[in-house]
Structure 1
Amino acid sequence: MTYVRPATDSPPGQNATSNKPHAVLVGHSHLKIWGLTGEERLRRQLRALGIAQVSDDVATAGAQAAPVLLLHGEWVFDETLVQAMAKTEVGTLLVDEAANRIVAALVAPAQAAAVAALLGQMPEALPDACVAKSPSGVAGTYNHRLRKREIPYLGRLEATQIAEMERRTFGASYKGVTDLVTKYVWPWPARHVTALCARRGVAPNHVTFLGLIFTIIAFYQFKAGHYGFGLVAAWLMTFLDTVDGKLARVTLQSSTFGDIFDHGIDLIHPPFWWWAWFTGLGAVGLAGLPHLDWALWVILVGYVAQRIEEGIFKPLCGVGMHVWRPFDSFMRLITARRNPNLLILTLSALVGRPDIGFAIVAVWVLICFVIHAVVIVQGLLAKRHGPLKSWLAG
C-alpha cells in the first residue's frame, strides 16, 4: 500500500537524515504490553538508536534543524520499523493497514506541526512532498538480525488485544533460523516464562546468570556420570538461554554487556559439557574405553572447526551460511550444535547407553563438518556468477 502526494521541493530518493532526527511522541495510552506503555517502549527503542532528543512538544521540534520523527504513543512498533523510519526519506508517513491510520512520520521541521495533527487519522489528504507507506514498504520483509522473513509488527494498544499483542510481539522477537528444539519446543513455555519475568521486573541478565548456574551444575553432574541430573540442568540452561534473549527483545533491555555475557557462555560451554560427558562414562563403567578417545577429539576439534566454517562463510560469500538456501536453513535445525547434540545424548541416556550416544554425536559432528565444507565450496563457485542472496530476502 502506498499513497502518494507529488513532491514539490524534494528530489526523489533524497534522504535528509544525515543527522539523527528529533523524535516527538504524539498520543498516550495507559495500557501496557510486557510491562511497558507504548510511549515507554518507543523511548527505549529510540534510546537504542542513539536518538537522545525525544519530547512530546512538536513546537520545540519544529524549531530544530534536524528532521522530525513523529511516533504515535498508542501504537506498538516493531523495532525494525522505528529503526527504518529514523533512516527513511523525509516525507515518509507510516500507515497501519489494519486500522487505516497514519501512526508515524519523518518530516521536515516546517511540516512537523501539520503532520503531527494527522497522526491517528486516515491517510487521505496528505501534505505536499509526503508519501504514505505500509510497514513492509518502510522496513521491508526480511529481518537480517533475526534471520527471517515477515512483515514488521504494528498494532494499536487495546485492552482486549493485550494478550494477542504479546503473543505477536514475542513471535516477532524469535529467530527464524535456529535449531529444532529452540524453534519447535521452547516457544510456548518460553513466552509464558518471559511474560512472568517481565511482570516481576526480572532483568535478562538475571536469567542469563541463572542459566550460567545450571551450566556449571550440568558440567559437574556429567563429569560424575549422573546423566539424569545433568541433563535436567542442561535442558534448563538451554531453555533459559531462549528466555533471556526474548525477554531482552520484548522489554527492549538489550545491552552490550548482556550480549557478550549471553553469547560468551553459549560459545564457551559446549566443549566442556562434551568432555565432562566423556569423563563421566568411567563413573558408570562405560568409559575410560580407549575406542572412544577418537570420538572425544572429533567432537572437540569438530566444534571449533564448524564454528570457523560458519564464521568465514559470510566474509567469503557475502551472506550467512544458514540463510543462503532453504537446504542451509534446514541444516541449521539439525546441525551438530549444542541442542541437537544434547538431544542425541538424552535419547542415549534414556536407553542406558550414553557411550553409544557419544559416538553418534562424534559421527554427526564429522558429517556436518563435511557438509559445511561443501557449502563453502558451493558458495565460492556460485559467487563467481554474482553476489549471493538469502532465499529469505525474497
Structure 2
Amino acid sequence: MLVWIDAVQCGRVPKIFGLTLVERHLQALKRSLPRPARIVVDLGADGQKPRIDSSLDEAFAIEWRQVPGDFSARLQRFLAETQGEAVLLLDGATLPDARLHASLTALAASVAVLAPKEDERAAMIRLDADRLPGLTIDAADLPSLATKLQAAGVVRPYQQEEFNGFIRKLRRTIPYYMFRVETADKAAKVEKFMFWSNYKGSTDFFTRYVYPPFVWISVGPLARARVHPNAVTIFSIILALGAIPIWAVGETWSFWTGFAMAYGMSVLDSVDGKLARLTFTDSRLGNFLDHGLDMVHPPFWYLSWAYGLGLATLGWGSTLGLATILVMAFYVIDRLILKVYPSFFQRAFHTHSKLDGRMRTFIARRNITLPMFIAGYVLGYAVEAFYLIVAWQILTAAYHGVRTFWILVIDRAHLKNRRPTDVAAALKQVD
C-alpha cells in the first residue's frame, strides 16, 4: 500500500500533545500491519517539513515532496505513480482516531471514512488499485473528494459497525472519532477529549474522580517537552519502593513522608500511561515496568505499615502479625483469581457486566486502601484501619472468587458466545 498525506497546512495547524498532525499520522501508520511500502508527504509549494521522531524514518520510506499546484493537481500527480497499488489518502489538518489507520491498511475495499460529526469536514480515503485507472480528481480538499467519490459509487462509506472499538488495556469500547484541527481553541478541546478517552472504563474512585486534575496539568507539559513515559514510570517506582523503608520507621514524620511519596506515585501511575498513549511512546518495557510495579508493591506497602505500627515488637504471632500474613496472602490469591477470567474471554474481569465495573470502583486496591489507612492514622485508629483493610482484601478476593465461579461454572457464559458488557462512561464530545 502507498500513502499520500496532504500536508500543505503543516506548520500552520496546531500540535496535539506536542506532535504535528502529520507526525501523528506517521506514528499511527508505524503501528499498522502491514506497513505501507511508501509514504508521500505533500507539503505543497512552500510547506515546511515538521520535526519527526527518528524511528519513523527507519520504519518506512518517506518522501517529503515540495511541489506547486492545488489539491487536485498534486493528488493526480501522485495517483499517476501508484503502479497498481492500493492507496490511503490522508489530510494533514485532520486528527483521526489512530486505530483507523490500522483498520484501513488491513482492509480490502475502497472506502471513505467521514468524521462522525458532519461539521468537522474531515475524512480518510482508501482506494483499491482497480479504482485508480481513469480516476479524475476534481475537489478542493480531501473531505470534498470523499463526498464526491462516495456519491459516484467509487467508494462506500465506512461504518462504525465494522470498526472494532474495544480497547483491552482500557477495558472499554470507544467508537472511532475524527476532528479537523485548524485553531488553537479547537486543539485544546481535542486534547481534552483525547485525555478523557484514555481513561479506563472500569477503575477505582480516586483514579476516576480525584487524580485527573493533577494528571491533566502534568501530561501536557511533559508531552510538549517530549519526556518519555518510561522516565515518569522509573520515578514512580523510586517513590513507591522508597516509601517502604520510610513507613517502617514508625515515626510521625516517616508516615507522612511515605504518604506524600505514595500519592505522588499514584498520580504518576496515571500520568505515564496517558503520556505513552497520547504521544505514541508506549513500549513493552514501559508496560512491564508499569504493570509490574502495580502488581508487586501493594503487599510490601502493607508489610511496611505493619512494621511502622509495631510488628517488629509485637511479633508475627500477634494479632497484627496474623493480620499482616492474611492481607499479603489474600492479595496474592485475589490476583491469581483475576487471571482466570481473561483466559476465557481475552479481556479483564471487570468488563463482564456493569456490576463488575461498579465493583472495581471501591474493591481493595492501592488507591482505596491507602486513603483508608491515612484516614485511620489521622483519627488515631491506624491499627484498626489496618484490620479493616485486611477484611476488605479478604472480601474482595471472596467476591472475585464467587463471581468467577458463577460466570464460568453456573452461568457458563464462556460457552454462550456472549459478549461482556462495556462499562465505559460516555465520552464528552468536542464542541
TM-score under structure 1 normalisation? 0.86
Identify which range, 107-116 or 219-228, moves more after superposition. Answer: 107-116
The alpha-carbon deviation at position 289 of structure 1 amounts to 7.7
Kindly indicate whether the alpha-carbon contact (under 8 Å) linking 2:357 and 2:423 is maintained by their aligned counterparts in 1: no
Going from structure 1 to structure 2, the CA distance change for 1:49 and 1:81 (only over 3 Å counts) comes to same
Going from structure 1 to structure 2, the CA distance change for 1:67 and 1:310 (only over 3 Å counts) comes to farther
Residue 232 (structure 1) aligns with: 260
Residue 69 (structure 1) aligns with: 88
Residue 3 (structure 2) aligns with: 23
Q: Read off the aligned partner of 2:180 and give its amino acid letter.
A: R
Tell me how many residue pairs correspond in the alignment.
373
The alpha-carbon deviation at position 34 of structure 1 amounts to 0.7
The alpha-carbon deviation at position 317 of structure 1 amounts to 4.9
Distance 1:313 1:217 in 2: 33
1:178 aligned to 203, 213, 234, which one? Answer: 203
Residue 314 (structure 1) aligns with: 342
The alpha-carbon deviation at position 29 of structure 1 amounts to 3.0
Q: Secondary structure at the match of 2:118?
A: coil
Residue 383 (structure 1) aligns with: 412
Q: Secondary structure at the match of 2:199?
A: coil
Residue 202 (structure 1) aligns with: 227
Residue 10 (structure 1) aligns with: none
Give CA-to-partner distance per residue, 1:195-215, whole Å, 9 cap, x none. Answer: 011122211111111111111
Kindly indicate whether the alpha-carbon contact (under 8 Å) linking 1:91 and 1:131 is maintained by their aligned counterparts in 2: yes
The alpha-carbon deviation at position 187 of structure 1 amounts to 1.5
Distance 1:22 1:338 in 2: 48
Kindly indicate whether the alpha-carbon contact (under 8 Å) linking 1:318 and 1:388 is maintained by their aligned counterparts in 2: no
Residue 17 (structure 1) aligns with: none
Residue 119 (structure 1) aligns with: 142
Identity of aligned residues (%): 26
Kindly indicate whether the alpha-carbon contact (under 8 Å) linking 2:84 and 2:130 is maintained by their aligned counterparts in 1: no
Kindly indicate whether the alpha-carbon contact (under 8 Å) linking 1:221 and 1:229 is maintained by their aligned counterparts in 2: yes
Query: What CA RMSD, in Å, does the superposition of the two structures yield over aligned residues?
Result: 2.7
Kindly indicate whether the alpha-carbon contact (under 8 Å) linking 1:319 and 1:388 is maintained by their aligned counterparts in 2: no
Going from structure 1 to structure 2, the CA distance change for 1:329 and 1:393 (only over 3 Å counts) comes to closer
Going from structure 1 to structure 2, the CA distance change for 1:355 and 1:22 (only over 3 Å counts) comes to farther
Identify which range, 114-123 or 334-343, moves more after superposition. Answer: 114-123
1:104 aligned to 124, 127, 139, which one? Answer: 124
Q: Read off the aligned partner of 1:22 and give its amino acid letter.
A: L
Residue 343 (structure 1) aligns with: 371
Kindly indicate whether the alpha-carbon contact (under 8 Å) linking 1:280 and 1:287 is maintained by their aligned counterparts in 2: no
Kindly indicate whether the alpha-carbon contact (under 8 Å) linking 2:167 and 2:173 is maintained by their aligned counterparts in 1: yes
What are the residue-to-residue correspondences of 1:1-394 with 2, within 5 Å? 21-27=1-7, 28-30=9-11, 31-50=14-33, 51-52=35-36, 53-56=38-41, 59=78, 63=82, 66-96=85-115, 97-99=117-119, 101=121, 103-111=123-131, 119-121=142-144, 123-126=147-150, 127-133=152-158, 136-137=160-161, 139-159=163-183, 160-225=185-250, 226-282=254-310, 290-317=318-345, 319-380=347-408, 381-383=410-412, 386-392=416-422
Going from structure 1 to structure 2, the CA distance change for 1:192 and 1:266 (only over 3 Å counts) comes to same
The alpha-carbon deviation at position 295 of structure 1 amounts to 1.5
Kindly indicate whether the alpha-carbon contact (under 8 Å) linking 2:201 and 2:423 is maintained by their aligned counterparts in 1: no
- Structure 2 unaligned segments of length 5 or more: list them: 43-74, 425-431
Kindly indicate whether the alpha-carbon contact (under 8 Å) linking 2:31 and 2:102 is maintained by their aligned counterparts in 1: no
TM-score under structure 2 normalisation? 0.79
The alpha-carbon deviation at position 271 of structure 1 amounts to 1.5
Identify which range, 180-189 or 364-373, moves more after superposition. Answer: 180-189
